[in-house]
Structure 1
Amino acid sequence: MRVAIIGMGTAGVSILRQLESHSYFKELDIDVYDDPQNMGQGVPFQNDSSQLLINLPSKDMSLNFNDAAEFFKWYENQNQFKFDNATYLPRFVFGHYMKSYLEKFDQEYDNIHLITEKATEMYLEQGFEKDAKIQYFVCTNHQQEACRQYDYVFLTVGTMAYHDPYHLKGLKGYIKSPYPTYETLNDVKDTDNIAIIGTGLSSLDVIRYVVKHHPNLPITATSRHGEFPSVRGNMIDITLKHITKENFDKILRSHFGVVPLESMIRLFEKECETYDIPLEALIHRKVGDPIKDLKYDLAHPEILGVFQSLLETIKENMNWIWNSLSLQDQEAFMKKYMPILKANSNPMPPRTARLLIEEIEIGHVVVKKGLEDVRYENEEYVFEYPDQGEPDYYNVVINATGPKTQLKDLDDDDAFIVDIANRQIVQAHPMGGIQIVPETNQVISPRHGTLPHLIAIGQITNGINQARNGVNMIVRQSVQAVESLYAFHQENR
């Protein structure tokens, strides 16, 4: 059976690892696609500054579903990278851990073929006879002769391009994406004034790098709310007692096949009561002063860790939780509760918080909220705030707003996804990403219906897999997806 994996970041390498672990593996003929830079590492874990840390403890990340500490064990057994404090390792180290498996498999198996080019198009062919099988064709370099035929395809294309909320892409001094950070300042002068749009995790990476490598400080980090992510507390193991499939099934049967949002929130509040979480106090703890907010989190690692652990456990089960809600309730959740979930999950390492406090206190970093508009005039960027009489001016703007989620917002930076949407192989989900079957990650095509042998994993599925794009959750999805492939293979041997 011919198999293609399009994209060899976290999801792609996870799929390959799961395929390799099965007894039928050598009966597959596998092509993996990505450019040379990202092959085996992906964008989030590409080679970059050692100051960019993973926001999970090193012992809690792994591509091994059965061994959460495998990455840390790999780190301890290798000699290429060593750091004094390995509690939170640089992101690129995890990329080399992933790449080590790809290189190992490539050397050991002659049924794996590395195609160091981006896939540019994909099309489907199906005969007119009844029950005719669909064949998938993946192409590179926009050339028909560069297309290869497959029985099974995994779409693991990684994150979509960053938002451009103020339509600045292409302008001089505008850096559309902060990665890799060690190339971010290549064309920046020492005298340039720098602003960062966004105060999420990406902006923290930029701040860590720029304050160390740019002499003209301060730099400004700004957004509408001016709030940084929370600080990671002391995490614990959580067992859900109220948000369970059994409770959801009861509600589904009595509410015409959906779980009302208010019912879900009541169950969540009961979970908080079970673990003595002061919910109202925690979700309203921020006072709008980044130093005070960061210091509060650092001073309360126990209760914050319990709260964050609960949210992380809910995210791990978000597939059946999220898809039990009606579309109307999903929209209501996104407006009212998703900001709370985002603010308290994916927290930063404590040492990043301490660095931020230090840089803000000595005046190297300025944090501003209420950003209303950014425009380009006379080779300068003009930042406007409603409560500020005069605007601010900058020579360089680094975009740290995070990746797009909606297909309608994509452009040439996501040409492959745009292409397969244009061919009606995939279709947009109203909450973001593409339509898939929640339980199997099978793509739902507007032209062909459910495509059982086209599997999408990662941020491209964010509408269905809301808040489930962390490494550990992608590994879970990969295990399930590969089990489905081998079930199909066994039936057709």
Structure 2
Amino acid sequence: MRVAIIGMGTAGVSILRQLEAHSYFSELDIDVYDDPQNMGQGVPFQNDSAQLLINLPSKDMSLNAHDASEFFNWYETQNQFKFDNATYLPRFVFGHYMKSYLEKFNQQYSNIHLITEKATEMYLEQGYEENARIQYFVCTNHQQEACRQYDYVFLTVGTMAYHDPYHLKGLKGYIPSPYPTYETLNEVDSTDDIAIIGTGLSSLDVIRYVVKHHPNLPITATSRHGELPSVRGNMIDITLRHITKENFESILRSHFGVVPLESMIRLFKQECEDYNIPLQELINRKVGDPIKDLKYDLAHPEILGVFQSILETIKENMNWIWNSLSLQDQEVFMKKYMPILKANSNPMPPRTARLLIEEISAGHVVIKKDLADVQYKNETYIFKYHNQVEPDYFNVVINATGPKTQLKDLDDDDAFIIDIANRQIVQPHPMGGIQIVPETNQVISPRHGTLPHLIAIGQITNGINQARNGVNMIVRQSVQAVKSLYDFHEQIR
């Protein structure tokens, strides 16, 4: 059976690892696609500054669904990278861990073929005979002769390009993506004033790098709300007792096949009560002063860690939770509750928080809220705020707003996704990404219906897999996706 994996970051390598573990692996002929730079590492874990840390403890992150400490054990046994404090390792180290498996498999197996080019198009063909199977053609370099035929395809294309909310892409001094950070200052003069749009995790990466390598400080990080991510507390193992499939199934039967949002929130509050979480206090703990907010989190690692652990466990189960809600309730959740979930999940390492306190206190970093607009005039960026009469002026702007989620917002940086949407192979989900079957990650095409042998995993599925694109969650999706492939393979052998 001919198999393609399009994109070899976290999801792509996870799929390959799951394929390799099966006894039928030798009967597959597998092509993997990505450019040379990202092959095996992906964009989030590409080679970059050692100051960019994974926001999970090293012992809690792994591509092995059965061994959460595999990455840390790999780090301990290798000799290429060594750090004094390995509790939170640099992100690029995880990328080399992933790449080590791809390189090992490539050397060990003749049925794996690395195609160091981006896929540019994909199209489908189906014969007219009864029960004819769809064949998938993946192309590179926009050439018909560069198309290869497959029985099964995994769409693991990684994150979509970053938002450009003020339409600045292409202007002098505008850096559309913060990664790799060690290249962000290549065209920046030592006297330039720098602003960062965004105050999330990506902006923290930029801050950590720029304050160490740019002499003209302070740098300003700004957004509408001006809130920094929370600080990771002491995480614990959580067993959900109220937000369970059994309770959801009972509610589904009595509410016409959906779980009302208020029922889900009620169950969530019961989970918090079981663990003595002061919910309202934690939700409303931020006072708008970055230093005070960071110090609060650092001073409350126990209770904050329990709260974060509950949210992380809910995220791990978000596939059946999220897709039990009506579309209307999903929209309400996105407006009312998703900001709370985002503010308290994906937290920064404590040492990043301490560094930020130090840099803000020293006047090297300024965090501002109420950003209203950014304009460009006479090679200068003009930042206007709702709470400030006079604008700020900058020579350089680094975009750290995070990746796009809606297909309608994509541009040439996501040409492959635009291509397969244009061919009606995929269609947009109203909450973001593309339509898939929640339980199987099978793509739902507006032209062909459900495509059982086209599987999408990762940020491209964010509308269905809301808040489920962390490494560990992608690994779990990969396990199920590969099981489906081998179930199909057994049928046709």
Relative to the length of structure 2, the TM-score reads: 1.00
Distance between the aligned counterparts of 2:390 and 2:230, measured in 1?
Answer: 31
Using the TM superposition, give the Cα deviation of residue 2 of structure 1 relative to its aligned residue in structure 2, in angstroms.
Answer: 0.1
Distance between the aligned counterparts of 1:389 and 1:470, measured in 2?
Answer: 40
What residue is the counterpart of 1:164 in the other structure? Answer: 164
Distance between the aligned counterparts of 1:253 and 1:122, measured in 2?
Answer: 41
Moved more, 456-465 or 125-134: 125-134
How does 1:312-327 map onto structure 2 within 5 Å? 312-327=312-327
SS at match of 2:388: coil
Which consecutive residues of structure 1, in runs of 5 or more, have no partner in the other structure? Answer: none
Using the TM superposition, give the Cα deviation of residue 388 of structure 1 relative to its aligned residue in structure 2, in angstroms.
Answer: 1.3
What residue is the counterpart of 2:42 in the other structure? Answer: 42
SS at match of 2:437: coil
How does 1:23-34 map onto structure 2 within 5 Å? 23-34=23-34
Distance between the aligned counterparts of 2:386 and 2:194, measured in 1?
Answer: 21
Deviations 1:133-161 (A, max 9, x none): 10000000000000000000000000000
SS at match of 2:401: coil
Using the TM superposition, give the Cα deviation of residue 387 of structure 1 relative to its aligned residue in structure 2, in angstroms.
Answer: 2.1
Deviations 1:107-152 (A, max 9, x none): 0000000000000000000112221110000000000000000000
What residue is the counterpart of 1:420 in the other structure? Answer: 420
Using the TM superposition, give the Cα deviation of residue 434 of structure 1 relative to its aligned residue in structure 2, in angstroms.
Answer: 0.1
What residue is the counterpart of 1:145 in the other structure? Answer: 145
What residue is the counterpart of 1:445 in the other structure? Answer: 445
What residue is the counterpart of 2:467 in the other structure? Answer: 467
SS at match of 1:450: strand
1:456 aligns with 2:456: yes
How does 1:343-358 map onto structure 2 within 5 Å? 343-358=343-358
1:110 aligns with 2:113: no
Distance between the aligned counterparts of 2:276 and 2:389, measured in 1?
Answer: 46
Amino acid at match of 2:240: L
1:264 aligns with 2:268: no
SS at match of 1:68: coil
Deviations 1:456-489 (A, max 9, x none): 0000000000000000000000000000000000
How does 1:195-214 map onto structure 2 within 5 Å? 195-214=195-214
Moved more, 220-229 or 383-392: 383-392
What residue is the counterpart of 1:434 in the other structure? Answer: 434
Which consecutive residues of structure 2, in runs of 5 or more, have no partner in the other structure? Answer: none
Distance between the aligned counterparts of 1:385 and 1:75, measured in 2?
Answer: 45
Deviations 1:386-411 (A, max 9, x none): 22111100000000000000000000
Distance between the aligned counterparts of 1:129 and 1:448, measured in 2?
Answer: 16
Distance between the aligned counterparts of 2:227 and 2:130, measured in 1?
Answer: 57
Runs of 4+ in 1 over 3 A off after TM superposition: none
What residue is the counterpart of 1:176 in the other structure? Answer: 176
The size of the alignment, in residue pairs, is 493
Amino acid at match of 1:49: S
Deviations 1:201-220 (A, max 9, x none): 00000000000000000000
Moved more, 9-18 or 128-137: 128-137
Amino acid at match of 2:473: M
Distance between the aligned counterparts of 2:22 and 2:177, measured in 1?
Answer: 38
SS at match of 1:354: helix
- State the identity %: 89
What residue is the counterpart of 1:96 in the other structure? Answer: 96
SS at match of 1:353: helix
What residue is the counterpart of 2:410 in the other structure? Answer: 410
What residue is the counterpart of 2:191 in the other structure? Answer: 191
1:63 aligns with 2:25: no
1:233 aligns with 2:243: no
Amino acid at match of 1:401: T
